[in-house]
Amino acid sequence: MPTLPAPSGDGPSTGDDSNPADYGCIAGARLLVFSGNAHATLPLVQILNHLGASVDLVFGERPVRDPQEAQDHDVLLIDTDCEDGLELLSDAAATPGGPPVMALCSNMTKEDEQRLRDLGADAVQPTPIMAIAPLASALARLLKRRDHEPPVVPSSAEGTAAAASGAGCALRSLIRIAGPDQAVSLLDEMHSDLQRSLRELRACVNACDLAGVLAQTHILIALTGAAGADRLQRLSEELNRAGHDADQDRIAALSPRLEAGLSELLSEIMRERRRLTGESGT
């Protein structure tokens, strides 16, 4: 992936007189930008180069993220207006030990900002960029936070699977609270409820049944929340909003991701059940 060269001259005109020296921690930072439109992203890249950052750009209608490549960068900036922007945001936010994520959104409303934060954005930046200072301040905060946070690395395949569903330690915490006499029945009930709701959701999506999508996502918001699967709960909320908006394109884009995550959660629940029954000898 090429690193874009710094622009010649004094940098872009941004309507303010910000000095790169005011944001020294940005100089030398490695930033990875995902965009659906390279031409529209050029002013942003120029500003980042003006601040002394090294910028890698991935663009296209469906920009593809290499998880290992993302780990080599200090901050990810994701254009959420591109076709897979929200999926990239959600996946990046759920990656253990990944860099902080800044979501870029055009014509952003307060509702848009809250939705992006719900999906895991560490910072949200409206576009087009009208001034350097707000962007630079937000980047500086993300870089300082990353410098003070130890990396989180999954210890096994199970740890990676837990991160994919977003449940992980929360599920085992529920098992401890339930106690040895109730834990297996709790997992069985949770597995049955999730499996039934997943089956109903698939049928409703395939039938373009908006009322059914709304009903099942309400159930899934509660079930995934109870399981501690925060990422899946956010996806359920996002799919519910798409149902309220009667946005079939968003429903079609979100439902496969939610279904895949729920399938993984179901597998995770069964792994926990096998672990419990193996230890108890039942």
Question: Which position has the token pair 């780990």?
Answer: 71
Contact 207, 223 (CB under 8 A): no
Tens-place pLDDT, residues 159-216: 444 444 545 556 676 777 777 778 888 889 889 999 999 999 999 999 999 999 999 9
- Domain 157-280 fold: Four Helix Bundle (Hemerythrin (Met), subunit A) (1.20.120)
Each residue of 246-273: pLDDT tens digit?
Answer: 999 899 989 998 998 899 889 888 888 8
> Hey, what CATH class is 20-147 in?
alpha beta
Domain boundaries, the chain: 20-147, 157-280
Instruction: State how far the Cα of 44 lies from the Cα of 78, in Å rounded to an integer.
Output: 12
- On the question of a cis peptide bond just before residue 128, with omega within 30 degrees of 0, the verdict is yes
Q: Given CA atoms 32, 38, 42, 46 in this order, what sign does their dihedral have? A: positive
Cβ(33)–Cβ(2) below 8 Å: no
Q: What is the mean pLDDT of residues 57-73?
A: 64
pLDDT band at 278 (very low <50, low <70, confident <90, very high): confident
Q: What CA–CA distance (Å, rounded) separates 222 from 50? A: 46
- Give the C-alpha separation, 249 to 230, whole Å: 24
- Please choose, from the candidates 135, 130, 129, the residue with its C-alpha nearest in 3D space to the C-alpha of residue 15: 130
Element (H, E) at 236: helix 230-244
Name the residue among 38, 15, 10, 280 with its Cα closest to residue 132: 15
Q: 97 or 223, which is more confident?
A: 223
